Structure 1
């Protein structure tokens, strides 16, 4: 009998869900658009809520984990709590929670990844550095290529350690996020 995901240690989860990178896929944008459309209907989103495609699948032409990252920005803590409850009721799993920031996923099963996997970041309006980073890399293909090479190197070094993989990219991400902010480059 297989363990429930909630019963697994972090090491067991990392073995079941290793870092996998794949070449760019045209369907990533479609998966984002379908999920964003679903979420807009599910959440009855108002004008004060924004959904954005973030993460490497939102950067043109680079290898990425085949996981669609979405950012939902809401106006206040009341909306944050309401959206959290609705997402959990609809099948998203809460992965982490801190003031003003909640992370969810969908597509993780006791057998491994589902066909479509989503990471959803729920935040207060304006907490969106990822939008700057993606926009900068989309406007600077040479930087996107350098990021891709970094990711490919780290994938081989940390295939079963998402924390180390993410931490090793943080200096690069911070540098180009700051440059995007200085230049005023932001995705809509």
Structure 2
């Protein structure tokens, strides 16, 4: 299952379909903007096997130069993405796809600290079952109390994420 209606927060059980969907989308993105791309990464909870997640595929697109992002807007719009600008999240071009949202692209310049942190956190959860379970319990709790506030849901995960990153 993919798709999260605007303004809602809920989690679903991880599925093998998510990495497959990421790979399909990665190929589509690469074919449209490959000349600007350094790497395309599956990030977020759908990238961690067995972790409950909001049903949205988060994709980090690493580009050579941040200003190249403006050249990627029209090609990604041809794939169904909507460009949301650079003011939504720090140091990134942000795109989302469909309503309900099925995919999000976070486009960073190569080496961006937010990208590096996302990859470190993802990799830590992939290799540490205890941390993954603890994070899932937190996400379940927060999704129940923030069903209609995605920003509060995300903000309240920050302390856990920061504590993990501090160890790495």
TM over 0.5: yes
Aligned equivalent of 2:42: 53
Matches within 5 A, 1:8-157: 13-14=6-7, 18-45=8-35, 49-98=38-87, 100-108=91-99, 113=100, 117-127=102-112, 128=115, 129-157=117-145
Secondary structure of 1:44's counterpart equals helix
Inter-CA distance 66–82: structure 2 relative to 1 (3 Å threshold): same
Q: Aligned partners of 2:167 and 2:73: how far apart in 1?
A: 32
Structure 2 CA distance for partners of 1:152 and 1:39, relative to 1, 3 Å: same
Shift in Å at residue 80 of structure 1? 1.9
> 1: distance between equivalents of 2:73 and 2:166?
29
Measure how far apart 1:39 and its partner are: 0.6
Corresponding residue of 2:148? 160
Shift of 1:177: 2.4
Q: Unpaired segments of 5 or more residues in structure 2?
A: none
CA distance in 1, matches of 2:128, 2:30: 31
Tell me how large the CA RMSD over aligned residues is: 1.9
Point out where structure 1 has 5 or more consecutive residues left out of the alignment: 1-11, 181-188
- The counterpart of 1:171, out of the listed 146, 159, 166, is 159
- 8 Å CA contact 1:80, 1:100 repeated in 2: no
C-alpha contact (below 8 Å) 1:59/1:134 kept by paired residues: yes
Change in Cα spacing, 1:88 to 1:100, as seen in structure 2 (3 Å) is farther
Cα displacement (A) at 1:174: 1.7
Larger Cα Rg: Structure 1 or Structure 2?
1
Shift of 1:82: 1.2
